[in-house]
Amino acid sequence: MKLHNHTTKIAIFASGSGSNAEAIISYFNAGPDSRAEVALVVTNRPDAGVIGRAHRLDVPVTVLTRSELADPDFMLPLMDRYSIDIVVLAGFLMMIPPFLIHRYEGRIVNIHPSLLPRHGGKGMYGRRVHEAVIAAGDTVTGITIHQVSERYDEGAILFQATVPVHPGDTPADVEARVHTLEHHNYPRIIATLLPDS
Ligand code: GRF
């Protein structure tokens, strides 16, 4: 789909600490790629760490409820108010409603902290994923950046990268290694979705 000829506006949806959100905002709003701008951060948790990071980086934040997220009359005007072209999920723990997925078909992406289809699916998020990697005895793990479809973690894969799992690693060790990989790659893969790339 051809996007308008203006700075591409990104909304980041995040429920947690927001380290990926910060990496993406830093990359576009103040960093090497000025073709896009993170114009809005959306969260469902009033205590999420991402809120402080967004404020510090001068990005507006909307905290919404489950019923607001599910309501097209709330969500679509919100997206329009900030002229959102691309939706980026970065640790967002609520299900994206189908009307939003359809509106942003091909322009809504997620990151998962494992090599999907390994360790994906319902309930697999955060530290639990890295615990499962260790419990399974995997010697390699990584990240998956994928399109969002109506079935969780099953949209088309855009990118994967790997890191080793060392003997004796704790879930926190694996998580730290995966996070570094995420922060480096997520902004660069989002950049490939921009109109003139
Ligand atoms: C990341 O590991 C991401 O892959 C997953 O949730 C985590 C969010 O971390 N979907 P942060 O809030 O960006 O630090």
- Nearest residue by C-alpha to atom 6 in ligand 1: 91
Tens digit of pLDDT per residue, the chain (197 long)?
Answer: 444 458 999 999 999 999 999 999 999 998 889 999 999 999 999 999 999 999 999 999 999 999 999 999 999 999 999 999 999 999 999 999 999 999 999 999 999 999 999 999 888 999 999 999 999 999 999 999 999 988 766 799 999 999 999 999 999 999 999 999 999 999 999 999 998 75
- What is the rounded distance in angstroms from the CA atom of residue 109 to the CA atom of residue 144? 10
Residue recorded with tokens 């790629």: 33
Ligand 1 contacts CB of residue 91 (under 6 A): yes
- In the residue annotation, 55 being an active-site residue is answered as no
Residue 160: how many CB atoms within 10 A of its CB? 15
Q: Is 4 helix (H, G, I), strand (E, B) or coil?
A: coil
What does the alpha-carbon distance between residue 66 and residue 68 come to, in Å, rounded to a whole number? 6
